[in-house]
Structure 1
Amino acid sequence: MSKISKKKRAVGLVIDASIARSAGDAAATHPRASACRDALLAVRANAIDVVLSEAVFLEWRKHQSRFARKWLVDMHARRRVVRVVTVEELQLRKETSKLDSPKARAAVEKDWHLIETALLSDKRIISGDDAMLEYLSHLCPVVVALNDIHWVNPTSELCLAWIVGGLPTTPAFTLSAQAL
């Protein structure tokens, strides 16, 4: 009698276009370029799926570096790209009005698609946008849906270990924990 094994579904990760823009090739020496490249390589090496909505994909196409473009093509070839169809979360989007600064409101509204995409997957995001992290963390007390989203900057010394570990639930990386 043969045993039927189900393939374990990989964890999905939303990768902000800020990573695609900054990722440099092997010759890149700038710390941000190498951190973004290393994060993308770790995602590929550890069989993690990249989750793309149409809005995330279009932003990637607009801003991606040559390295990121080749990486994404390779991820498609490996069947490690998960496309999701997002629906605008109008109630959540209304909550941006609770931010004090017009600059913060505009930034969150511009990148809200990252949150909508993460909510449809495993609630994991890597992004180099620390200002967005700060704005979203301020919304956590009033937008409960944000609390469990993990947001990690690839320049963080813990990012690669988190990716290599399979993106485990790490309370310190949640938006609510980073609001403190």
Structure 2
Amino acid sequence: MSNPLSVVVDADIARSSGTSEHPVSSGSRALLDSVSKNGHTLSMCPKMMAEWKKHRSLFARKWLASMIAQKKVKFIKPAENTNTLIQKNLTDAKKIGIASKDAHLIDAALDTDKIIASNDNIARDVFCELSVNCGNIRSIKWFNSISDKSFLTTYLSTQCFVPPNYYVVHSN
């Protein structure tokens, strides 16, 4: 097995990881299963834990309990710098709102192994735009459990090379 990674998993994945075979549910479940099966840890800041408790499915509740029992959850209190970067570098109120809602994901990723799993492509796009002026977030890998399911499963099992399109980087 490769070195264990610490992964930031957005609450949208916890919410959608139900037992149905719908692509959203199965992709979210596959991500959570891959994290645990490959010996990785889940990074949780207080805001993320509150979101998980509010939105998690039955599957995610059992999965999180199992991860906590195995001591595979890393409870962190990252520096909260992203909201300041958002306010200083974005001007569109809608984009500021989108980014502010998920700023804790960026803060947590920067404090750990710089890996985010979230199905929120709109937030990802706003953070990619923010990366033009905030170079520190360009090192974050952002995976979607639905559209990146195959690559993400491979990455979590082999820690293979990650192509640039998975990074939080603005493309021209």
Q: How does the TM-score come out when normalised to structure 2?
A: 0.90
Task: Report if the CA contact (8 A) 1:42-1:163 is conserved.
Answer: yes
Question: What is the RMSD of the two structures over their aligned residues, measured on CA atoms?
Answer: 1.7
Name the counterpart of 2:156. Answer: 163
Q: How many residues align?
A: 168
2:86 maps to 96
Alignment match, 1:173: 166
| Structure 2 residue identity aligned to 1:114 | L
- 1:107 equivalenced with 2:98 (yes/no): yes
For residues 75-110 of structure 1, the C-alpha deviation after alignment (integer angstroms, 9 at most, x for no partner) is: 111111111112321xx4233233343111101111
Greater than 6 Å deviation, 4+ residue runs: none
Match of 1:19 among 13, 17, 25: 13
2:35 is the counterpart of 1:43: yes
Structure 2: which amino acid aligns with 1:124?
Answer: I
Unaligned 5+ runs, structure 2: none
Query: Structure 1 CA distance, aligned partners of 2:106 and 2:160?
Result: 17
C-alpha distance in 1 between matches for 2:125 and 2:96? 12
Q: How does 1:1-180 map to 2 (within 5 A)?
A: 10-25=4-19, 28-89=20-81, 92-97=82-87, 98-155=89-146, 156=148, 157-166=150-159, 169-176=162-169, 179-180=171-172
Per-residue deviation at 1:171? 3.2
Query: Among the aligned pairs, what percent are the same residue?
Result: 29
User: How far does the alpha carbon of each residue in 1:149-178 deviate from its partner, in whole angstroms, 9 at most, with x for none?
Assistant: 0000011242221222247654331111x6
Q: Which residue of 2 aligns with 1:5?
A: none
Bigger Cα Rg: 1
In the alignment, the residues of structure 2 paired with residue 148 and residue 115 of structure 1 have an alpha-carbon distance, to the nearest angstrom, of: 11
CA distance in 2, matches of 1:117, 1:142: 19
Distance in 1 between residues matched to 2:103 and 2:166, nearest whole Å: 19
Indicate if the aligned counterparts of 1:12 and 1:51 stay in contact, CA closer than 8 A.
yes
